[in-house]
């Protein structure tokens, strides 16, 4: 691949991959894609949340999963950073703590792909199975 040095190079590269491009998600179908929010406050950054976000972007792209990855501020779980909130389509958001590289793989393979809950969830609501 030729080196990308100027905006013109970037534009040319974009045109070359035009056929594979998908547009940014718009808010109308936001409910149908997986939403990933990585906690990126001071505590998160200091614990490596940048790497966590990078792994998510890379892995989801590789596995061709339709997801929007973004960052958020302090969710209040500073002791368990890096934290990530995952919202599957039509499901409640779930917050995971201590999300390192291995955990990112686990979350994607088990929770996102199969919908099975895994260890390391931080309870954010207090609903019981009776409700």
Partner 1 sequence: MRTLSEHIMDIVQNSVRAGATLIEVIVEESKKNDLCELTITDNGCGMNDSQLHDAANPFFTSRKTRKVGLGLPLLKQNAETAEGELKIDSGIGEGTSITATFGLSHIDKPPMGDVWETLYQLWLSYPKIELAYRHKTDIGEFELGSGDLKEVLGDVSLQQKEIRNGIIELIKTNLNEIEATI
Least spacing, CB of residue 130 vs partner 1, in Å: 29
DSSP for 29-82, please give it. GGGGSEEEEEE-SHHHHHTTHHHHHHHHHHHHHHTT--EEEEEE---S-GGG-S
Q: Does 63 bind partner 1 (CB under 8 A)?
A: no
User: Among the candidate windows 56-64, 89-97, 100-108, 117-125, which touches partner 1 by CB under 8 A?
Assistant: 56-64
Out of 27, 29, 35, 70, the only residue in the binding site for partner 1 (CB under 8 A) is 70
Residues 5-24 that bind partner 1 (CB under 8 A): 5-7, 9-11, 13-14, 17, 20-24
CA 86/CA 70 separation, integer angstroms: 11
């Amino acid at each position: 691949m030729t080196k990308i040095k100027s905006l013109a190079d970037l534009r040319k590269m974009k045109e070359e991959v035009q056929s594979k491009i998908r547009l940014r998600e718009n808010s109308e179908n936001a409910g149908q894609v997986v939403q990933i929010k990585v906690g990126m406050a001071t505590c998160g950054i200091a614990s490596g949340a940048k790497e966590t976000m990078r792994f998510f972007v890379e892995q989801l792209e590789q596995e061709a999963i339709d997801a929007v990855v973004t960052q958020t501020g302090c969710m209040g779980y500073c002791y368990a950073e890096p934290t990530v909130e995952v919202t599957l389509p039509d499901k409640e958001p779930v917050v995971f703590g201590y999300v390192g590289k291995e955990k990112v793989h686990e979350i994607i393979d088990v929770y996102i792909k199969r919908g099975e809950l895994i260890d390391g969830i931080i309870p954010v609501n207090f609903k019981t199975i009776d409700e």
